[in-house]
Amino acid sequence: MKRVAILGPSTFSEEATRHFLGEDFTYVSYKLISEVFNATSSGETDLGVIPIENTLEGSVHLHVDWLVHEVDLPIRAEWVFPIDMNLIGYPAPEGRTDESNPFGYIRKVLSHHVVPAQCSRFMKQYLSGAEFEQVSSTAEGVRIVSSLQDPSVAAIGTAIASTNYGVPMLQKEIQDHKDNMTRFLLVGKEASELKPSEDMKTTILVTLPEDYPGALHQVLSAFAWRRINLSKIESKPTKKKLGTYYFYIDIAGSLDSVLLPSAIQEIEAIGCQVRILGCYPSYPYTN
Ligand SMILES: O=C(O)C(=O)C[C@]1(C(=O)O)C=C[C@@H](O)C=C1
């Protein structure tokens, strides 16, 4: 069975990956996302799972940075998964209940750094008196809460973490929007057989030539006149020289098509550097 590195256990990454890949894989949990990348890069696992973007938070920059700067792991698939955030902790100790705020007794909240952006309304309304402390995953927060057994410290995470660590669910579905989704990437050195998908995507990094006014316009027009759809374009620092950027571009389409390779050739011809991060199937959420 192929081995898949995930941030886990009892995380959203685990829930999303089990839903997508099923049980024909061996899941190997790591505490840090850097360990997921390293395990996949070193061959300890065949594949790795990276949360890359969220409806409410946007790109997870740290993970994009790892993908671009630290490893050379092609993207093999992407899928989206709904994210229901839950407040997990112990009930108010006797004498500490507050009519105006049922969670006013919570002084500290532990979770992954992407979580406050996904639960900002709930946190503003009920947890404004609590300090937020970042931990390596949502499940790690729940694990710490279970070890402390202190009602003033709570976590935000998955329903499965609440069950597995035996910490009560205080409030379900506290994310700002019902349709909160996270996009996950499957990365790995070798291609894996996956279920067929109607949609293919290609992700490229483009570095513009210096001293070429209008270069970005030319890049975009190479796609535009071929009617190739870009689903995302983000500029990011190259980290080599202050003020220099590359563009992270998600393209709807496959490198096997006629038009996309010629668009890439056209932008290389004006002096752009192009790195292909992957050409892969994309899957919408299906229940
Ligand atoms: O901490 C977890 O549970 C994770 O799987 C990580 C992660 C992320 O990095 O975006 C995954 C999905 C949710 O958006 C929140 C956290």
End-to-end CA distance of the chain: 25
Domain with residue 160: its CATH number is 3.40.190.10
| 207 occurs within a structural domain | yes
Which ranges of the chain would DSSP assign to H, the alpha helix? Answer: 12-21, 33-42, 61-65, 115-118, 120-126, 138-148, 159-165, 215-224, 259-269
Determine whether the shortest distance from the Cβ of 88 to ligand 1 is under 6 A.
Answer: no
Total of domains in the chain: 3
Query: At residue 204, does pLDDT exceed 80?
Result: yes
For residue 73, the enclosing domain spans 3-83+180-187
Same domain, 78 and 119: no
**Length of the chain in terms of residues written:** 287
Query: At residue 97, does pLDDT exceed 80?
Result: no
Same domain, 66 and 103: no
**Residue 211 pLDDT:** 75
**Residue 65 pLDDT:** 93
Q: Closest Cα to atom 3, ligand 1: which residue?
A: 11
Query: At residue 57, does pLDDT exceed 90?
Result: no
| 194 occurs within a structural domain | no
Other Cβ atoms less than 10 A from the Cβ of 271: the count is: 14
Same domain, 209 and 151: no
**What type of residue sits at position 141?**
G
Q: Closest Cα to atom 14, ligand 1: which residue?
A: 182
| 117 occurs within a structural domain | yes
pTM for the predicted model, two decimal places? 0.95
Q: Closest Cα to atom 10, ligand 1: which residue?
A: 51
Same domain, 271 and 220: yes
**Whole-complex ipTM:** 0.98
pLDDT band at 27 (very low <50, low <70, confident <90, very high): very high
Same domain, 207 and 277: yes
| 10 occurs within a structural domain | yes
Domain with residue 211: its CATH number is 3.30.70.260
**Of 134, 154, 187, the domain-final residue:** 187
Measured in Å, residue 43 CA sits from the centre of ligand 1 at 23
Same domain, 67 and 90: no
Q: Rounded mean pLDDT of 47-69? A: 92
